Amino acid sequence: MLDLTPKAIVERGALRVNPCKTCQPVGALYAALGVHKCMPHSHGSQGCVSYHRTFLTRHFKEPAIAASSSFTEGASVFGGGPNLRAAVKNIFDIYDPDVIAVHTTCLSETIGDDLNAYILEMTIPDGKIVLHANTPSYAGSHITGYANMLSGFIRYLADPRAPKNGRTALFPGFVNPGDIREIKRVLGLLGLPLIVFPDQSDVMDAPMTNAYAMYPEGGTTLDEIRALGGCERVLALGRFACESPADALDKKCRIPFLNLPLPIGVAATDALVMAAARGAGVPRELEDERGRLLDLMLDANPYFYRKTLAIFGDPDTVLGLTAFALELGMKPGYVITGTPGEAFTRQANALLGQYGVADATVKASADLFELHQWIKNKPVDLLLGTSYGKQIARAEDIPLVRAGFPVLDRYGHSCMPIVGYRGAMRLAEMIAGALMDRYDRDCADEDMDMVM
Ligand code: SF4
């Protein structure tokens, strides 16, 4: 399919081909789905929200609900205020959510719709909330949209006068429900009372019960979001997804935050555990998990050592995967994200520098077309990233390990963690399995061993 990708690289300033990101509303919608009894609402045309919902549904294999202002020509010219007013009335009448979280789209941003004014002027039923976030898709990526929607919830709801509750607010980052569940388990072992915001576990991986629930049991409640203003501190995981919402809460409610990397790999998980433990002891169960991970990393080291790889996807995830690949003894050759931001290149280069890797190509705002071209000129042993790497994998005959967002062509992945010590064991097993399968496929008959 990508057999005709040219090897010769031409500099492109204004064109992205096979971008390594999607648009802001996808992230905003995912953030809103992590709030209990929330109806996400896309202020734009039906085509936009169809795409956003389909994209999330394909990754999570769960219905991603959202409504739309259903712009047609009239709204596109005269503004979408009447559409939004009608939509809000219909949504509360028919679907009865506690909150409608409105995000904008390219179209409503371009015509300059003022969501603040629309919401101030509309009639909202008692006890219900309508809030919004601006998510213009010609800036940033779905990660920016996720962060903007979290900031929107904080702006509207976090209460600076909330009573002190002794809890830690956890902003888990743009990760799968399985990752959130694992982070909660780890911090639960440390006895940390938490408010997790947002929390898509038990929403985007709700169990099958034979009865459809428009609003599954999971999700951060509105009272919990109000109570963020009374938390002791925030652990914000991932710079790109969570630093700006944590900063918004700090500015509004004076809640200090610690911005940590996503806990992918040993050092990043250690950092989260130590931050949560705050000098207290670490439970034996966690120490044992860590020890088992190190044992696996040592046992399989001959298969990891100096293997080259390309890592691509969302910035916080890619930085975590890069750190873990380096811990495994692997050698990243290409580290890219589609999300813009030079902080990504700085952090990736700093990680690579710690391990003496000086010849890797690191790029933000990158696309998979250029990654393919680089690989054609200098191949790698493994691809580690989203499903969008599968055409490169096929064209160049390189194994692909799927991790991050989106993974569209596999099942069960969003329930399984890649964070924490257990998640790192799963990642290490997947990477070792892919490399060893490739060895078995290519080796001479006499080297085909049962025990490796
Ligand atoms: S028009 Fe903009 S908001 Fe709508 S799907 Fe396309 S990029 Fe996303």
Using alpha carbons, select from 222, 226, 231 the residue that is nearest to residue 32: 222
Q: Is a pLDDT exceeding 80 seen at residue 452?
A: no
Mean pLDDT, range 317-330, rounded to an integer: 98
Percent of residues, the chain, with pLDDT higher than 70: 100
Measured from the CB, is residue 145 less than 6 Å from ligand 1? no
Q: What is the mean pLDDT of the chain?
A: 97
Residue ranges of domains in the chain: 24-157, 168-205+217-277, 284-447
User: Looking at the domain 168-205+217-277, which fold is it?
Assistant: Rossmann fold (3.40.50)
CB-based contact 266:424 (threshold 8 Å): yes
pLDDT at residue 3 is higher than 90: no
Strands (E), 143-225: 168-171, 194-196
Q: Please give the Cα distance from 144 to 149 (Å, whole number).
A: 9
Rounded to the nearest 5 percent, the helix, strand and coil shares of the chain are 50, 15, 40
Tell me which fold the domain 284-447 belongs to.
Answer: Rossmann fold (3.40.50)
For residue 106 and ligand 1, the question of a CB distance below 6 A is answered with yes
Q: What is the pLDDT of residues 150-185, one digit of tens each?
A: 999 999 999 999 999 999 999 999 999 999 999 999
Mention every residue, 6+ apart, whose C-beta is less than 8 A from residue 342: 364
308-320 mean pLDDT: 98
Q: Give tens-digit pLDDT for 106-144.
A: 999 999 999 999 999 999 999 999 999 999 999 999 999
| Per-residue pLDDT, 350 | 98
Residues 398, 383: contact at Cβ < 8 Å? yes
Q: Per-residue pLDDT tens for 34-89?
A: 999 999 999 999 999 999 999 999 999 999 999 999 999 999 999 999 999 999 99
Task: Tell me the CATH class for 24-157.
Answer: alpha beta
Residue 278 predicted with pLDDT over 80: yes
Q: What is the pLDDT of residue 94?
A: 98
Phi and psi for 19 in degrees, rounded to 5? -65, 150
Question: pLDDT tens digits, residue range 404-439?
Answer: 999 999 999 999 999 999 999 999 999 999 999 999
Which residue, by CA, sits nearest to atom 8 of ligand 1?
23
Fold equal for 168-205+217-277 and 284-447: yes
Cβ(23) to ligand 1 under 6 A? yes
Which residue has the CA at smallest separation from atom 3 of ligand 1?
A: 105
Q: Which atom of ligand 1 is nearest to the CA of 52?
A: 5
User: pLDDT per residue over 327-346, tens digit each?
Assistant: 999 999 999 999 999 999 99
- pLDDT, residue 40, reads 98
Q: Is 48 in the pocket of ligand 1 (CB under 6 A)?
A: yes
Distances from the Cα of 69 to the Cα of 49, 65, 86, 189, angstroms: 9, 14, 8, 44
Mean pLDDT of 277-281: 91
Query: Which residue among 26, 45, 48 has the greatest number of ligand 1 atoms within 8 angstroms of its CB, and so is best to mutate?
Result: 48
